[in-house]
Amino acid sequence: MVTFPNAKINLGLRVVEKREDGYHNLDTVFYPLPLQDAMECIPAETDSFTSTGIPIPGSPTSNLCIKAIELLRKDFPSIPPLSVHLHKKIPMGAGLGGGSSDGAFMLKMLNDTFQLGLSQENLIQYALRLGSDCPFFIINSPVAASGRGEKMRPIECSLSHHTLLLVHPGIHIGTSEAFARIRPQQPLHSCSQIVSQPLTTWRDQLINDFEQSVFPSFPELAEIKASLYALGAGYASMTGTGSVIFAIFEKRPNWEGYFPPHYTVHCIAQ
């Protein structure tokens, strides 16, 4: 069994209110990107997890791939022990949802391979138990999202014929750290309303609230965003709680040599 979990970006991200359960209600548009990890899963004598590519910190038992197996096995004990190998290419702690994607794709792969008969809605509910971003990757097409991110409505949104740059300076931002300075508020217009407008209007209207929270502690990120606009971007923003800054260009920019060599830059032609 082999699958290729992909990344996402947030087109706008507003924190609407804090909930009684401690989570926050959000307003965002999730958009999938063809930046992918590679995951192989085969039957084995015991569960195991190995990885290559970008080093993955922490215990293998805390990885969402293994958590996804354990979660489904509670309800489907016939799932055998599995050996999982993950080649990691999507940066972690970057706002691209790589770990969430790995977990969600594992749920989908197990459902298909072992014919568990779970519907998309069933899978979304399992994915939500893994993490707030996980349900998106069950649908994996542009959606307007609210609640914790699990309330999703498909929308028409295409960045085809555009070029995206993803700039990762190697900074890891914890989710709790990003939420620390957030002041929830109801936006005048939803992110989905704004992305339905021409790209030329996004710069002044499409906001990621976490930039105000994160940029004061990491001014380097604000500098990257300004550099991308100087390079000719039609729109630039941090994705998720950071630290990747992405930019959308009408034409492929001449970015080679533009950023420090320790930065990771992905150029994606849609």
Residue-range domains of the chain with CATH: 2-154 (3.30.230.10), 163-269 (3.30.70.890)
Q: Which two tokens stand for residue 250?
A: 């009408």
Q: Indicate which residue of 8, 67, 88, 89 is catalytic.
A: 8
Residue with tokens 């830059």, as numbered in its chain: 265
DSSP string, 89-156: -SPSSSSS-HHHHHHHHHHHHHHHHTT----HHHHHHHHHHH-TTHHHHHH-S-EEEEETTTEEEE--
Alpha carbons within 13 A on the beta-carbon side of 115:
0
CA pair distance 182, 43, nearest whole angstrom? 45
Q: Which residues of the chain have pLDDT under 50?
A: none
Tell me what pLDDT residue 182 has. Answer: 86
Q: Indicate which residue of 27, 37, 133, 209 is catalytic.
A: 133
Residue with tokens 């922490």, as numbered in its chain: 58
CA pair distance 168, 239, nearest whole angstrom? 11
Burial label, 76 (beta-carbon count in 10 A; 0-12, 13-18, 19+): middle
Closest CA to 171 of 241, 244, 237: 244
pLDDT for 177-197, tens place per residue?
A: 778 788 888 888 999 999 999
pLDDT for 205-257, tens place per residue?
A: 999 999 999 999 999 999 999 999 999 999 999 999 989 999 999 999 999 88
8 is catalytic: yes
CA pair distance 62, 203, nearest whole angstrom? 38
**Vertex 142 angle, CA 156 and 121, to 5°:** 115
Closest CA to 224 of 162, 168, 164: 168
CA pair distance 163, 34, nearest whole angstrom? 12
108 is catalytic: no
pTM of the predicted protein model: 0.94
